[in-house]
Amino acid sequence: SQTIHQWPATLVQPVGSPLSLECTVEGTSNPNLYWYRQAAGRGLQLLFYSVGIGQISSEVPQNLSASRPQDRQFILSSKKLLLSDSGFYLCAWTSPNLLHFGNGTRLTVT
C-alpha cells in the first residue's frame, strides 16, 4: 500500500534561518506531489506541485521554494525564514482521483 512520510513533525526556527522540509512517498511511482500550507485562521493554500522529477510549479509568490530530486521525494526550502512563514505544512500526493496527505509539519518562526 502507499504511504507518505513527512518530517519533522514540529520545528521552531529563528527568523532568517534556512528551512528544509522533506516528504517521501512509498508504494507508487511517478506520483503528482504537492505542498500545502495552513496558516492560523486560514484555509489550506497550495504552494507548489510537481508532476515529475525536476518539474516544479509555484502557485503563489513567496519566500519558499520546492525541489524534486527523486521520483518520490519532494522538498520544501527557504534560504531565510520570515515570521509569516509560520504555519502547518502538508505534503500530499494523488492517486487518480484522490489527494492523500501526510501528517504535516508545524513550523513556528520566532
Report the interface residues with another protein, using CB under 8 A: 6, 32, 34, 36, 38, 41-46, 49, 51, 90, 94, 97-104
Q: Give whichever of 45 and 65 is closer to another protein, judged by the CB atom.
A: 45
Q: Are 66 and 48 in contact (CB under 8 A)?
A: yes
Other C-beta atoms within 10 Å of 96: how many?
Answer: 5
Grid cell of 35 as nine digits:
505542498
Distance CA 80, CA 93 (A): 27
Q: How far is the CB of 90 from another protein (least distance, A)?
A: 6
CB of 75 to another protein, least distance (A): 17
Name which of 14 and 43 has its Cβ closer to another protein. 43
Cell 516544479 found at: 56
For the CB of residue 31, give the shortest distance to another protein in the complex, in Å. 10
